[in-house]
Amino acid sequence: MFNARDCKTGHLFDKWAYMGPKRRKLLDASWAGFFRREILPELPVEKLAPAFHEFNGRPTKEMYTTLSVLIFQQMFDLTDEETVRQLAFSLEWHFALDLDGESDAVKYICPRTLWTMRTMLSAKELDTLLFDQVTGKLAKVFSVDTKTQRLDSVHIFSNMRHLGRIGIFVKAITKFLVNLKRHHRDLFESLDGSFSERYLTRKGQGVFSMVKPSETDRTLQRLATDLFDLVRRFADDKNVSGMSSYKQMSRVLSEQCSVASNEDGGTVFVKTPVKVRSDSLQNPSDPDATYCGHKGQRYQAQVMETYIPAAGANGEKGPGLSLITHVAVEPAHTSDAHALIPAIEDTKVRGLGPTEVLADSLYGSEKNVAAAAAMGTEVVAPVPGGEKKSKSSYLSEFTLTEEGGIERCPMGHAPIEDVASGNHRDVVFAVEHCFGCPRRKECPVKSVRKGYGFSYDKKQVKMARRRAREKTEPFRNRYRFRAGIEATFSALDRRTGVKHLRVRGLPAVRFAVVLKVLGLNLLRATAAWRPENGGRPAPNRGFSRVLDGIVSVHAKFMHLVRSVVNQPASYPVAARLWAATAM
């Protein structure tokens, strides 16, 4: 049965009035006070209601508390046991959740409930909904200017062992044999005893952990033969071939090996590392993780945030909140080039779309720039390819006309011919200008019928103009703010532990990363809210503060009466007063 209290209606009396003014001031200025005032009433607990019966069954844990605890766990990078203790004993957590009472029902949550709710939220992708709703609230509270944003990716380790190729083979075979022994013992016993000795004993697996470099190829070939034998032997058994461990073993065989057919049924060969795709299985315990040639086996998260340009003559930043508006988790092999347009579309749908995005060269392809421009967003990014000498990099040194033709070369010579032909143009320079030119080896011109020339297309002209703009001071002044996103990744790692997670599998990794990014947004919002950082102080509670004062005076008076009643013989009037107030 669904259980959620009313967090949207305020209280007539302040239940925290017993606290001294100094401690109360600290709580109001902390993340707990900000969360209690602005975020707690906005949590989308109603989205969880369809998962539970309206009347039947045991009541769930109070949902505002449960969702908040899941956010706090990722925000502070806590284990399940640490989370349980914080909810039970932390005054900050109690204040943030506005908890009333000291019962276990209010201030205790068991680890199993945490695990169940994490699984439910990640399966329904409610973590993304939670991020969107809270981020929208923060943008509204702080009037965040989302026109200028920056985008980059950060690589993330899941809780898996990083295996080499030998480890991948051994892990896949071992996992299959364990499951086969558990579910189909008769089939397992029909296998040659050497399989059990090699893969299910500590001594046998120890052999694979101490392979000399000179014996790597031979060991891989032996493992590939065992893998091929097992896959072929049970391929026609529907009960076995339907097992997930068998499917993983088949995947390793297809990705890491090639099979040549012959009269004996086939011969298996191990592929060279160059021929193994980057999206191949890296660890059977985490099949969603893939390989990045730059940083290895892992996931990556695309993060886009607003930034505050320099406001003063000395380059200082104005007050405000730098808000992360978009986060998407994906396998590590996915190219950054595919992340720009989905990020812009996602933020525009939620009313947080940018008009300018700073990104590195991987996001700055001509296709992405054109697609973003059609959506009303300018992409400020270097041209892909860096400083390597391509035709567009040569063209950037030429003076171009508005139509895309060449007005003169870097040495100041005009062409004798520049003819447009569809999407291409052909340009020719005089022999006397090119022959003996000191920059002849750097120039793309080649000997043609009328002199020296080359051809180029409209795309190369666009990229050449972009390369020319990259060298100007206005571009550098705009693009210098892109580096600030590295500080965001550092803060995510230091404060929330986003780069090394305790979970594995794409749904669980996405859940953890999204809530950690949400947690950083909350910490930033708390800092920006403080008056010393240019924000606003905690709001005055008005009439409720007057009532708090009345309650406080009444409590002091009753304390005085109780102390007097302890001596009723000496103070009969006080005793009668106590009896009257107790009626």
- Sequence letter at residue 560: L
DSSP H helical segments within 124-214, as ranges? 126-141, 165-183, 185-189, 193-199, 202-208
Give the pLDDT of residue 538: 52
Give the C-alpha separation, 1 to 62, whole Å.
Answer: 11
* Residues ≥6 apart with Cβ < 8 Å to 98: 7, 15, 36, 40
Give the pLDDT of residue 562: 59
Q: What is the CA radius of gyration of the chain?
A: 33
Per DSSP bridges, beta strands 290-292 and 406-408 are unpaired
Contact 410, 439 (CB under 8 A): yes
Give the pLDDT of residue 447: 85
Per DSSP bridges, beta strands 148-156 and 452-457 are unpaired
Contact 347, 353 (CB under 8 A): yes
- CA 227 to chain CA centroid, Å, is 36
Give the pLDDT of residue 536: 63
Give the pLDDT of residue 558: 59
pTM above 0.75, yes or no: yes
Using one digit for the tens of pLDDT, what is the confidence trace for 437-486? Answer: 888 877 888 888 888 888 888 888 888 888 888 888 989 999 999 999 99
Give the pLDDT of residue 409: 87
Give the C-alpha separation, 486 to 136, whole Å.
Answer: 23
Give the pLDDT of residue 128: 93
Per DSSP bridges, beta strands 296-306 and 148-156 are antiparallel
Per DSSP bridges, beta strands 378-380 and 356-358 are parallel
Give the pLDDT of residue 541: 47
Give the pLDDT of residue 551: 52
Give the pLDDT of residue 95: 94
Using one digit for the tens of pLDDT, what is the confidence trace for 227-243? Answer: 999 999 999 899 999 99
Cα end-to-end span (Å), the chain: 40
Q: Which residues of the chain have pLDDT under 50?
A: 312-315, 540-546, 568-571, 577-578, 580, 582-583
Give the pLDDT of residue 571: 46
Give the C-alpha separation, 41 to 374, whole Å.
Answer: 38
Distances in Å between the alpha carbon of 267 and those of 131, 263, 486, 528? Answer: 51, 10, 49, 65
